[in-house]
Amino acid sequence: MFHPCTDPIIFLASTVIKGMLMKFSHLFGPVCSRRLGRSLGIDLVPFKTCTYDCVYCECGHTTHKGTDRKEFFPVSEVLSELDAYLSGGPALDFITFSGSGEPTLSTSVGEVIRYLKREFPSYRVAVLTNGSLFSLPEVREDLLLADVVLPTLSTVHEETFRTIHHPAKDLSLKSILNGIEQFRREYRGEIWLEVFIIPGVNTSDKELSGLADEIRRIRPDRIQLNTLDRPGPAEWVKPAGPGELSRIQAFLGVPDTEAIHSSHHESPFSPDESDPSQTICELIRRRPCTVDDIAQTTGLHRNEVLKLLRTIESEHQLLVKREKRGVFYFLRDNP
């Protein structure tokens, strides 16, 4: 059963809070995801290790950009954590490969998926990916047993692609599109394609016509239109409003297309009562948050959040940025 709630902020909160309570290094959650329901996250790459440096990424600039695949952590550590967590048979809608980097950079992803399907076959497995490495046969093979794969596609034009994603130098859009199309031919599970909308960049008739044609070639099971919700690395990136998302949805004219709107619900998690300021610090190191985001994530009253932010400001480089959705707080010193 799916549980509708906000993706990014709940994912982040659960990473912080669950990590504090259970001391997992590679698992986070379970989280309440708007797209995937109750989901246990698996992070197989170090923070901000990616093939892209996207202008909209809520985690900030990529610090380790490249396409070399390797085992970043011993796979035995990940499997041991999964055994410990799943042995009790928790209720989950998905186990999801995600985090703050590109999961297919890890050569362990296929082994972990195969282990899950063999040892815990009742759980559905999802992979959140930018799709940049699908030209590699070994990457496509690694994901074949996943139940749902969620790649990103924002343009079919090379110049726009580089403007949005700032990819690693050895990546080309043509090879990426060919890889996603080839994966569709080989893969028997569901593909949910994310199209990230940036007004004035990929919203012209030319851009949207190209996207519509490519979507029909890929034949995803769902198309999800997404846009900026909190500050990214590039200040010029602005969110698309509901009206524009609806216009794009109609223009594409592809069945099973939905617009992902901001939706902030109460979080099922509680802060670390021994040090709630530390919980907030870990939260805003990873992604910018408003006072309401923090309150809804931790369960603290917004007045208490404001007091704690003042304390944090005296001890850290607390940055403030005003956006359409409100005032966002974040720390300069990423982990």
Domain containing 232 — which CATH number? 3.20.20.70
Residue with tokens 């996603």: 180
The whole model's pTM is what?
Answer: 0.77
Answer yes or no: do 253 and 302 share one domain. Answer: no
Tokens of 21: 């309570």
Q: Looking at the structure, tell me whether residues 204 and 104 fall in a common domain.
A: yes
Pair (44, 71) in one structural domain:
yes
pLDDT at 78: 96
Same domain, yes or no: 183 and 309: no
- Residue 243 in domain: yes
Comparing CA positions, the residue from 91, 98, 97, 46 lying closest to residue 72 is 46
My answer on whether 47 and 173 are in the same domain is yes
Residue 28 lies in a domain: yes
Q: Is residue 245 part of a domain?
A: yes
Whether residue 234 sits in one domain with residue 199:
yes
- 166 and 43 share one domain: yes
Statement to judge: residues 243 and 292 lie in one domain: no
CATH number at residue 309: 1.10.10.10
Interatomic CA distance for residues 64 and 313, integer angstroms: 28
> What are the contacts of 310-319 at 24+ separation with CB within 8 A?
311/277, 312/277, 312/280, 312/281, 316/281, 318/284
The DSSP letter of residue 106 is B
Same domain for 242 and 300: no
Its sign, for the CA torsion 310, 320, 228, 334, is negative
pLDDT at residue 31, as a whole number: 65
Residues in the chain with pLDDT < 70? 1-23, 29, 31-32, 34, 230-231, 261-274, 286, 297, 324, 332-335
The distance from CA 143 to its chain's CA centroid, rounded to whole angstroms, is 17
Is residue 113 a part of any domain in this protein? yes
DSSP code per residue over 191-241 = EEEEEEE-TTTS-SHHHHHHHHHHHHHH--SEEEEEE--S--S-TT--PPP
Q: Same domain, yes or no, for 137 and 167? A: yes
Whose CA is closest to 192, among 133, 147, 157?
A: 147
Q: Which domain holds residue 203?
A: 8-259
The H-assigned helical ranges of the chain are 8-22, 75-86, 109-119, 137-142, 158-165, 173-186, 205-218, 242-252, 276-286, 291-298, 302-315
Task: Classify residue 1: in a domain, yes or no.
Answer: no
Instruction: Examine residue 315 and state whether it is found in any structural domain, yes or no.
Output: yes
CA distance 330 to 321: 8
State whether 84 and 192 are in the same domain.
yes
Look at residues 231, 259, 287 and tell me which one is the last residue of a structural domain.
259
| Whether residue 142 sits in one domain with residue 17 | yes
CB atoms within 10 A of CB 332: 9
Question: Within a domain: residue 267?
Answer: no
Boundary residue ending a domain (259, 286, 304): 259
Query: Total domain count for the chain?
Result: 2
Q: What's the rounded Cα separation, in Å, for the pair 280 and 297?
A: 10
